Structure 1
Amino acid sequence: MNYEIKTNDKFRFIEEGEGEPLLVLHGLFGALSNFSDLIEHFRHKYKVVAPLLPLYDLDIFHTTVVGLAKYVANFIEAGGYEGIHLLGNSLGGHVGLLYVLKHPEKVKSLILTGSSGLFENGMGDSYPKRGDYEYIRKKTELTFYDPNMATKELVDEVFDITNNRLKVIKTISLAKSAIRNNLGEELSQITQPTLLIWGNNDNVTPPFVAKEFNKLIPNSEVYFIDKCGHAPMMEVPVEFNKILEEFLGKLKAPAATIA
């Protein structure tokens, strides 16, 4: 992905295209590259915005999902974005949920894929094992239905994180805050059209999580993709983009006139 990383004050982000903003939030072990296919597909019709979340740059007190949601709120305010289509994967979905609950007037629609906020399986009871490359490789593979999606480059990135003591502490802080911050009682407040795109083989936030989101968010619809894990926009980008494009297209369509 060769898009320019822009800066605005303390924020670093990608912004490509023109039109309604489609703002995407990556997960705990995610990166902007997770959305490369999505950015390329949608930048011709939308302004695709992807902030680099400061997972390891906030002080430990603010290294929480609430702290990240405040960061996103400040980023959106600084960028002057309105009428946002807000998309989040994994922890990014959780951050997006917190944002829309606090700032509903800014969000036109919500898209969640493999989102935390209700339930998630972590990296395991012994996570993280520092220095054990094979362990990290296997855990990274579990993110996907196809283990070959866990490329050496991706495993190396996760391995480097788990071998940095400060990053490990902040990763654990974020993971624990996500578990504590259960949004089950607040989701009924979300009135925006909401799209749930889920992998049928998601081991981190299994399909029953999507069904529960669908049950609790009033104006929501859910799509399951077979042979797909926790990151559908990476593993099955063509199908993911098709589902998302149809959803966004319905929101653009003029309301039916009544004779």
Structure 2
Amino acid sequence: MMNYEIKQQDKFRFIEEGQGEPLILLHGLFGELSNFKDQLGYFSRHYRVVLPLLPLLDLDLLHTSVGGLQKYVHKFIETRDYQDIHLLGNSLGGHVALLHTLKHPERIKSLILTGSSGLFENGMGDSYPKRGDYEYIRRKTELTFYDPAMATKELVDEVYAITSNRLNVVKIIALAKSAIRNNLGEEVSQIQQPTLLIWGNNDTITPPFVGKEFHRLIQNSELHFIDKCGHAPMMEVPGEFNEILEKFLKELPVSA
């Protein structure tokens, strides 16, 4: 993964670069830390950028759920004793960030969601293929982006490798089903933190109406749409994504 050192404390593996208020980035179901490489370099000049490796496929089946991942993130934050956190999540990572902010709001200064599940998604769980169907995996990976060329062979191979293990497939389906079951709906309106929503206009997994619904439910939120962009704006249009995020962070009140 890029050229950053992966640190370890207890059972947690993570990248941490820079100084300042923590900006914690949570990846999605097929996410890798490399999804955030453009944010890591950019924001570590002014923030402590933290990328935990989420144990998507390493929890026992009972805890392979949005709730299980939320507990893991909570323990990670407590172990590292981060305060005044800007918590950012993409896709399933956004769902985990939402749940965490609802359960443990005290350390969270702001919330940033991009292509987040939690209200609605067209998941992988609907039509999961038999193992070893490379073409299917390639098509599904391309659907993440507006520009199918973003689904490089390297990325498709990564997803294919994950899904060629039978237990992994069982866990991926469990996570996808848990995300659908763990629909937060009106509960989202309890979030008090300033919230930034960055959505791709061409997101087919959590379509634009999902961003609008989050905006309606979260009182203190602002919503930005990016054209010619799919489900992972931080990868597909990093320049524009970083600009929107930087402006949002700069306008937040300074902590005591």
The answer for the alignment partner of 1:86 in structure 2 is 87
What code does the residue aligned with 2:226 have? I
CA distance in 1 between partners of 2:227 and 2:213 (Å) = 19
What is the Cα deviation at residue 125 of structure 1?
A: 3.6
Q: CA deviation at 1:135?
A: 1.2
Whole-Å Cα distance in 2 between the matches of residues 225 and 108 of structure 1? 24
- The corresponding residue for 1:19 is 20
Kindly indicate whether residue 171 of structure 2 is the aligned counterpart of residue 144 of structure 1.
Answer: no
Q: Match of 2:177, as an amino acid?
A: K
Q: For residue 143 of structure 1, give the secondary structure of its aligned residue in structure 2.
A: coil
Give the equivalent residue in structure 1 for 2:237. Answer: 236
User: Aligned residues: percent identity?
Assistant: 76
CA deviations over 1:61-110 (Å, ceiling 9, x no partner) = 00000000000000000000000000000000000001000111110000
Q: CA, structure 1 residues 125+69, in 2 after alignment: closer, same or farther (shift >3 Å)?
A: closer
Q: CA deviation at 1:128?
A: 3.0
* 1:182 counterpart SS class: coil
Partner of 1:158: 159
Gaps of 5+ in 2: none
Give the partner amino acid of 2:161: D
Q: What amino acid does structure 2 have at the position aligned with 1:140?
A: T
Aligned pairs for 1:21-36 (under 5 A) are 21-36=22-37
Q: Which amino acid aligns with 2:113?
A: L
Q: What are the residue-to-residue correspondences of 1:217-236 with 2, within 5 Å?
A: 217-236=218-237
Match of 1:3 in 2: 4
Tell me the distance in 2 between the aligned counterparts of 1:195 and 1:241.
Answer: 12
Q: Distance in 1 between matches of 2:61 and 2:53?
A: 18
Query: Secondary structure at 1:218's aligned position in 2?
Result: coil
Structure 1 counterpart of 2:54? 53
3-state DSSP of counterpart to 1:15: strand
Alignment partner of 1:187 is 2:188? yes
Give the conservation status (yes or no) of the 8 Å contact 1:129–1:162: no
Q: Whole-Å Cα distance in 1 between the matches of residues 198 and 146 of structure 2?
A: 15
Structure 1 residue runs of 4 or more that deviate by more than 3 Å after TM superposition: none
* Post-superposition CA distance 1:131-168 (Å, at most 9, x none): 11111101100000000000011000111111100100
The answer to whether residue 164 in structure 2 is matched with residue 173 in structure 1 is no
Q: C-alpha displacement at 1:126, in angstroms? A: 2.5
Can you give the 5+ residue segments of structure 1 that lack an aligned partner in the other structure?
Answer: 255-259
Q: Return closer, same or farther for 1:17/1:158 CA change in 2, 3 Å cut-off.
A: same
Q: For the residues of structure 2 that align with 1:253 and 1:176, how far apart are their CA atoms?
A: 39
Give the TM-score, by structure 2 length: 0.97
| Contact persistence 1:94–1:115 (CA under 8 A) | yes
Q: Aligned letter for 1:246?
A: K
Asked if the contact 1:129–1:135 (Cα under 8 Å) also holds between the matched residues in 2, the reply is no
Q: Tell me by how many angstroms 1:252 deviates.
A: 4.5
User: Partner of 2:198: helix, strand, or coil?
Assistant: strand
SS at match of 2:70: helix
**Match for residue 119 of structure 1?**
120
SS of equivalent to 2:167:
helix
Give 1:69-108 correspondences, 5 Å limit: 69-108=70-109
**Contact map agreement 1:200 1:229 (CA 8 A) in 2:** yes
Secondary structure of the structure 2 residue equivalent to 1:36: helix
C-alpha RMSD of matched pairs (Å):
1.1
Quote how far apart the aligned CAs of 1:112 are: 0.0
Q: What CA distance in whole angstroms lies between the structure 1 residues aligned with 2:28 and 2:129?
A: 17
Q: Which residue of 2 aligns with 1:257?
A: none
CA distance in 1, matches of 2:111, 2:158: 29
